[in-house]
Each structure stands twice: as C-alpha cells, then as structure tokens.
Amino acid sequence: MNKNALVVFNGELLCFAHVLLNALDMIDRGQEATIIFEGQSVKLVAELEKPDNAFHQLYGKARQAGLIRGACKACSAKLGALEAVQAANLPLLEGMSGHPPLGELQQQGYTVVTF
C-alpha cells in the first residue's frame, strides 16, 4: 500500500483545497494519506474551521476520515496561529526543534509530498 504524507507549507487556501482533494482521492484508491500543516499553511486552520468557508465541508470530511495529522508547533506559535490550532484540537507536531520531522515519516514508509 502506498503511504503518502502531504506536507503543506503554502498558505494559499486554493492550494490547500487541492491537498484535501488529493488526500481523499488517495484513500478512495486504497492508499494511505496524512496531511500536515507546516509553514504559512498553519494560518489556514482558523479559516477552514469557519462554517461559511467554501472549503469547510471538504476540510471536515478529511478530518472525519482521520487525514489531518496535525500542525507544526513552532510555525503555529511564530505565525500567531497557535490559539486557532489548539481550538481546533489539532495535534501540535514538534519532534524536530518544534517542527514535524519529515525524516521520521520517511522511516515509517511515507512518501513525503510538499505543497
């Protein structure tokens, strides 16, 4: 089975929508997918949590499917998104100086895809 870690640094909402679509498509194809908010993308959590956001339902579907692994703790703190990430009950990932260690994912058999 293919294991894919979709790591999103880009803070553009439309880019993140494509990440959500691809992750859901991967699981529909019998693959494994996990999504990590990194860099500027941590600021999208507050927007995606709003019910009136155009991608809120898609985001909710991905969350319900267990696809959201978490958000970078260091970037969330530095970019003022920590409160929103915590309010959304997303895990804070911090194994490498406050950032999620991508090498660990590779050791677990994931192909790391960055956006």
Is the domain covering 3-114 a CATH 3.40.1260.10 domain?
Answer: yes
DSSP output for 15-61? HHHHHHHHHHHHHHTT-EEEEEE-GGGGGHHHHHTSTTSTTHHHHHH
Q: What is the pLDDT of residues 24-62, one digit of tens each?
A: 999 999 999 999 999 999 999 999 999 999 999 999 999
CB atoms within 10 A of CB 60: 14
Give me the residue spans of the domains in the chain: 3-114
Would the pTM count as exceeding 0.75?
yes
The answer to whether 14 touches 42, Cβ cutoff 8 Å, is no
Q: What is the pLDDT of residues 55-94, one digit of tens each?
A: 999 999 999 999 999 999 999 999 999 999 999 999 999 9
Residue 105 sits at φ, ψ, to 5 deg, of: -65, -40
